């Protein structure tokens, strides 16, 4: 297993990883009316907007994990709302309560603007398939992205983790993140890049 920069050929693997870890860390295949819903919000915009801040774990055959970053959340949110979401929204009418809330959140341009966004301007998503978990690769991906952000002069990075995803919360604490805020939607955690 090795960590390398994202390449366009990884796109389908990134989609697969996103779906198979999308239910609070568990497989979300078939959970929504389209399996494209989660990747269209939480993965593909990132490799489209800032592929240079995407890194994958390569098992020699395919990508089995990734970390995806947006350096400037304010700019990313603006682009997501005006340049990205309109291109995929039609695919996702939002059926059922859970899906409707995901779609409503995606369509809200302010959803990414956490209170501490200026102190932690970047945000990230990290997901590893079960075969890649528990081997120190998640920590290495965090180091890789925070290093790339620090090189660009970005002082801090944050993320939002589901309230029910207690395993991921424990991981983030272990790799230097602290809780910044929390509500029913999840826990906001942040870390300085230096």
- Closest separation between CB of residue 138 and ligand COA, Å? 2
- Closest separation between CB of residue 174 and ligand COA, Å? 4
Closer to ligand COA by CB, 95 or 167: give it: 167
Question: Which residues are near ligand COA by CB under 6 A?
Answer: 21, 25, 126-128, 133-139, 161, 165, 167-168, 170-171, 174-175
- Closest separation between CB of residue 1 and ligand COA, Å? 10
Closer to ligand COA by CB, 85 or 171: give it: 171
- Closest separation between CB of residue 38 and ligand COA, Å? 11
- Closest separation between CB of residue 173 and ligand COA, Å? 8
Closer to ligand COA by CB, 27 or 119: give it: 27
Question: Residue with CB nearest ligand COA?
Answer: 138
Closer to ligand COA by CB, 21 or 73: give it: 21
How far apart CA 29 and CA 129 sit, in angstroms, is 13
Contact 137, 57 (CB under 8 A): yes
Closer to ligand COA by CB, 148 or 189: give it: 189
């Amino acid at each position: 297993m090795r960590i390398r920069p994202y390449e366009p050929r990884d796109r389908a693997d990134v989609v697969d990883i996103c779906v198979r870890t999308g239910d609070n860390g568990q497989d979300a295949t078939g959970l929504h009316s389209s399996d494209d819903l989660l990747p269209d919000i939480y993965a593909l915009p990132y490799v489209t907007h800032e592929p240079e801040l995407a890194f994958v774990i390569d098992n020699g055959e395919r990508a089995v994990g990734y970390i995806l970053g947006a350096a400037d959340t304010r700019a990313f949110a603006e682009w997501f709302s005006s340049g990205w979401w309109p291109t995929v929204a039609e695919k996702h009418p939002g059926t059922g309560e859970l899906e409707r809330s995901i779609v409503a959140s995606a369509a809200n341009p302010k959803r990414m603007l956490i209170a501490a966004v200026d102190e932690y301007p970047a945000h990230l998503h990290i997901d590893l398939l079960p075969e890649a978990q528990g081997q120190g690769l998640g920590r290495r991906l965090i180091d890789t992205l925070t290093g790339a952000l620090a090189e660009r002069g970005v002082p801090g990075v944050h993320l939002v983790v589901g309230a029910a995803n207690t395993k991921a919360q424990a991981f983030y604490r272990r790799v230097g993140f602290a809780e910044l805020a929390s509500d029913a939607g999840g826990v906001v955690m942040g870390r300085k890049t230096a």
